[in-house]
Structure 1
Amino acid sequence: MSGSNKTVNGVDMSAYWLPFTPNRYFHQHPKIMQSAKGAYYFDDHGRKLFDGLSGLWCSPLGHADPRIGAAISKQYEKMDYCPAFQMASEDTFRLATRVADMAPKGLNKVFFTNSGSEAVDTALKIAIGYHRVMGNASRIRMIGRDRAYHGVGMGGISVGGMVANRKMFASMMMPGVDHLPHTLNLSQMAFSKGMPTWGAHLADELEKIVALHDANTIAAVILEPVQGSTGVIVPPQGYLQKIREICTKHAILLIFDEVITGFGRLGANFGADRFGVVPDMITFAKAITNGVIPLGGVIVRDDIYDSIIANGGQEQAIEFFHGYTYSGHPIPMAAGHAVLDIFESDDLVNRARALEPVLENGLHAMKGKAGLLDIRNFGLSGAVELEPIAGKPGLRALKVLEACIERGALVRVAGDVIAVGPPFISEPKEVEFLCSVLGDAVDAAMKINS
């Protein structure tokens, strides 16, 4: 650790345990943000940094949009909190309606949570509850996917497939979970633009899992339409359609985790829309409030809700014993309404779609650089995979991050993958700048071998 353990402005860093961060490395190489406005952060060295990953995929509108702040302030003066159980605010019902109206046809019920992690665990519980009330209590098994990230709840890490997230907590994880293989194969699809043409057959692995465990034991399959946290793994053409067909065939629920891909990241309301595949549930979070305040949720197929409610016993009885103190909190509701208003007034989903080829062209212009193993992209998201430093996995990407900061941009590190996902408010020249900075940073980091 550094000798002083303080920021350049003298703030003591010793008390704060940073999440998903190599804390020892961070204290030697601190990265302190001081303010944010529009598509930029400003750090404690006075540098203006283009926000190349929209916060953590959660700030597509950029930062400090006064319309969101005004809505939150107005709601605070009106009602700062409403009990989540036995009552709700009118704006909570209104936001649920707006979210449902954006979702694929037939998904019209919204259960609010506070984060993507909570949304995933909620969706898993809904799946178990649904099968139980339908007389299929044996359907308790969940199927996730290798390299998946579904948050940090115990359900989420159980169905998740990132080894580092799981190994410390193996004794706590859900029983009865199996995993599909991921779809990334660099020997077949490296440097693909958009959806790879190879790999739809990997969906057939689900049939093998069904044969192994018996369909009557499987409650749900959960997957991200595009795997974001593990480095933007794009599904092969036809893969998601085949997964949907197999789930339907065996009466297995299909859950799309759209915490990253929801609300425009793929140039559509949801990845389900972009890929033309309708799941039975969709989890969401992040962009719904532009990252300003925590909010997440699950959008549920009507008959799943209806079945659970209809089998809830006497009408004064609670049908589904689940929820959070802050479910449907009025202040995140106000933020959500403001964000969706801005999406509509500023046509942001279409703006994101228009920026997609700019990002694609900028990233793939790096092809041929030394040490680049892959470039992949879909929607307004992309990643470059780097040759690691021998014996030091992840260090190369950290050096790219630091080189990007020196040159005026922020990116996201995931192992030795660098992910980008600029704000929807970006101008084409800013996306081109991001790609140029990343290319120069890769060149600089490739000169480091220890």
Structure 2
Amino acid sequence: MTLTDSTIDTRQGTVVDGPALWSAQAQMPAVLGRQLVIERGEGSYIFTAEGQRLFDGTAGLWHANVGHSHPEIAQAAYDQMLKLETYHVFQRYANDRAIELGERLAAISPIERAKAILNSGGSDAIDVACKLARRHWQREGRSTKQIILSREHSYHGLHAYGTSIAGLDFNREGLGTDSLVPETALVSHDDIAAVEATIRSIGPENIAAIFTEAIQGTGGVNPPEPGYLEGLQRLCTEHDILLVIDEVITGFGRTGEWFASQRYGLEPDMVTFAKGVTSGYAPLGGVLVAPRLWEPFYVDDTTTPVFRHGATYAGHATAAAVAIANLDIIERERLVPRVRELEQVLRTELDALQQRSEAVVDVRVAGFLGGISLDDRLDNARVADRAVELGFIARCLRGNTLQLSPPFIVSDREVVDYVAAIEQAITEEAGR
């Protein structure tokens, strides 16, 4: 018998209904009736449909670097749409804004002489990078190098490849297999000796690439242990494995450099990006690719292979125009060096919070990214809900952690007030 709404067994509970929109990453009965409907934004603040003003302490999903509703970016999108909304970049076709953005990205890339593959977001970028890693070794005639390594607690989006290399079990549950793409494996998130042991166990001749976030985001805001990323670089060089840095969160200034790869002195073969490239004003992501990978596909010969990537909105002209305007603002307002100043303010405030509160187990800061780990007796979701009541947004992550990552345009005073509100919410929850 085919199950329909009328035949589903609901004896375990009542089926609840609500808006037609199925919210992302939500246990739906827990959010229905208490959803915050965001109606508008202004700078570092957003406003709900009910009129509540909230400090956007997470910059949306880590992306609103220049704040909300910036008129210059809106004007750039408007002007571009009146000229050309978009045209695809397949085969001999391109559009001028996609070409311009590619040059702009290559100029600030941590990879010298990089080529830019453009698409619609971070999950797209991961999918393309995984395929290019495998395609590279197949073209090289080293067909056994297929396995993609990634770290425990990692997050790389939710396309099939991103789900497969995720180090968060809850994103892989219930899909009928441990990994949608079988040639994947996890390595230690903090022990480089354990990573090396895994590489030797699997066999470097079977490994195509190691993917890593420079700073783990969704996994709990985890900066790398000293020497860890440098260790990955060394292992990749020694064993001829591609190093791919996922900078979907950290790219475009979040760590006080254009890319975290520059902060940590890395030389990746690929860098994936999204979010901050447009500050969320348009969906755009992509991959920066090193000459080692792209040059064989550019050889002037009729036998040169084709890398089969591409999507309808790859190189979208309006999204590219938005990205260019966003990068102009970041450069003109010197927001990358400003992040280095904000990092020190956030670090000072969070260190002081940990000293004052026994409920705070750990605090972590890297760039303008902060994580607060709470004692297991507290519920981080309740703390975040109370913070919203106080007018501030924080996000719950793995490890009973709260994420703090405001836009780059905030004042020192706003950072101080933000942490004070979080402290008040923690103190009240601890006193329950």
TM-score in terms of structure 1 length = 0.89
- Tell me what 1:17 maps to: 22
Residue 320 of structure 1: which of 286, 307, 313 is its match? Answer: 307
Q: Find the aligned partners of 1:96 and 1:205 in 2 and give their Cα distance.
A: 38
Amino acid across the alignment from 1:153: H
- Tell me what 1:224 maps to: 213
Amino acid across the alignment from 1:422: P
Distance 1:13 1:293, change over 3 A: farther
Amino acid across the alignment from 1:241: E
- Tell me what 1:400 maps to: 383
1:336 aligns with 2:351: no
Amino acid across the alignment from 1:51: D
The Cα shift of 1:387 comes to: 2.5
1:419 aligns with 2:403: yes
Q: Find the aligned partners of 2:148 and 2:332 in 1 and give their Cα distance.
A: 40
Q: Find the aligned partners of 1:130 and 1:82 in 2 and give their Cα distance.
A: 28
Residue 56 of structure 1: which of 61, 64, 73 is its match? Answer: 61
Q: Which shifted more, 100-109 or 67-76?
A: 100-109
In the TM superposition, 1:342-421 aligns within 5 A as 342-367=329-354, 368-389=356-377, 396-415=379-398, 416-421=400-405
- Tell me what 1:442 maps to: 426
1:45 aligns with 2:40: no
Q: Find the aligned partners of 1:264 and 1:155 in 2 and give their Cα distance.
A: 26
The Cα shift of 1:231 comes to: 1.4
- Tell me what 1:177 maps to: 184
SS at match of 2:97: helix
SS at match of 1:409: coil
Q: Which shifted more, 303-312 or 255-264?
A: 303-312
The Cα shift of 1:311 comes to: 9.5
The Cα shift of 1:397 comes to: 1.6
Residues 81-133 of structure 1 show CA distances to partners (whole Å, capped at 9, x for unaligned) of 20231211111111011111111242511001101001001100110111111
Residues 138-192 of structure 1 show CA distances to partners (whole Å, capped at 9, x for unaligned) of 1001101110000001111111100000112253611121111123xxxxxxxxx
- Tell me what 2:114 maps to: 108
Q: Find the aligned partners of 1:296 and 1:134 in 2 and give their Cα distance.
A: 27
Q: Which shifted more, 37-46 or 227-236?
A: 37-46
Question: Structure 1: 5+ residue runs without aligned partners?
Answer: 6-11, 184-201, 390-394
SS at match of 1:36: strand
Residues 184-222 of structure 1 show CA distances to partners (whole Å, capped at 9, x for unaligned) of xxxxxxxxxxxxxxxxxx112222122111111100000
Tell me if structure 2 keeps the 8 A contact 1:400–1:445.
Answer: yes
Q: Which shifted more, 169-178 or 303-312?
A: 303-312
Q: Find the aligned partners of 1:161 and 1:232 in 2 and give their Cα distance.
A: 14
SS at match of 1:64: coil
- Tell me what 1:186 maps to: none
Q: Which shifted more, 298-307 or 28-37?
A: 28-37
Amino acid across the alignment from 1:405: V
Distance 1:312 1:233, change over 3 A: farther
Tell me if structure 1 keeps the 8 A contact 2:371–2:403.
Answer: yes
In the TM superposition, 1:293-304 aligns within 5 A as 293-304=282-293
Q: Find the aligned partners of 2:28 and 2:83 in 1 and give their Cα distance.
A: 41
Residues 357-378 of structure 1 show CA distances to partners (whole Å, capped at 9, x for unaligned) of 1011111211141322211111
Tell me if structure 2 keeps the 8 A contact 1:130–1:308.
Answer: no
1:206 aligns with 2:195: yes
- Tell me what 1:152 maps to: 158
SS at match of 1:168: coil
SS at match of 1:100: helix
Q: Find the aligned partners of 2:382 and 2:365 in 1 and give their Cα distance.
A: 22
- Tell me what 1:72 maps to: 77
Q: Find the aligned partners of 1:113 and 1:105 in 2 and give their Cα distance.
A: 19
Q: Find the aligned partners of 2:272 and 2:107 in 1 and give their Cα distance.
A: 15
Q: Find the aligned partners of 1:309 and 1:255 in 2 and give their Cα distance.
A: 21
SS at match of 1:370: coil
Distance 1:312 1:226, change over 3 A: farther
Q: Find the aligned partners of 1:424 and 1:25 in 2 and give their Cα distance.
A: 32
The Cα shift of 1:313 comes to: 4.9
Amino acid across the alignment from 1:375: V
Distance 1:434 1:130, change over 3 A: same
Give the fraction of aligned pairs with identical amino acids, expressed as a percent. Answer: 33
Distance 1:313 1:179, change over 3 A: farther
- Tell me what 2:7 maps to: none
Tell me if structure 2 keeps the 8 A contact 1:396–1:446.
Answer: no
Q: Find the aligned partners of 2:292 and 2:268 in 1 and give their Cα distance.
A: 13
Tell me if structure 2 keeps the 8 A contact 1:288–1:340.
Answer: yes
Tell me if structure 1 keeps the 8 A contact 2:111–2:268.
Answer: no
Q: Find the aligned partners of 2:165 and 2:193 in 1 and give their Cα distance.
A: 19
Q: Find the aligned partners of 1:418 and 1:312 in 2 and give their Cα distance.
A: 54
Q: Find the aligned partners of 2:79 and 2:135 in 1 and give their Cα distance.
A: 38
Amino acid across the alignment from 2:96: E
Amino acid across the alignment from 2:180: M
The Cα shift of 1:258 comes to: 0.3
How many pairs were matched up? 414
- Tell me what 1:34 maps to: 39
The root-mean-square deviation of aligned C-alpha atoms, in Å, is 1.8
Stretches (4+) displaced over 6 A: none
Q: Find the aligned partners of 2:357 and 2:26 in 1 and give their Cα distance.
A: 28
Amino acid across the alignment from 1:38: G
Tell me if structure 2 keeps the 8 A contact 1:312–1:320.
Answer: no
The Cα shift of 1:304 comes to: 0.5
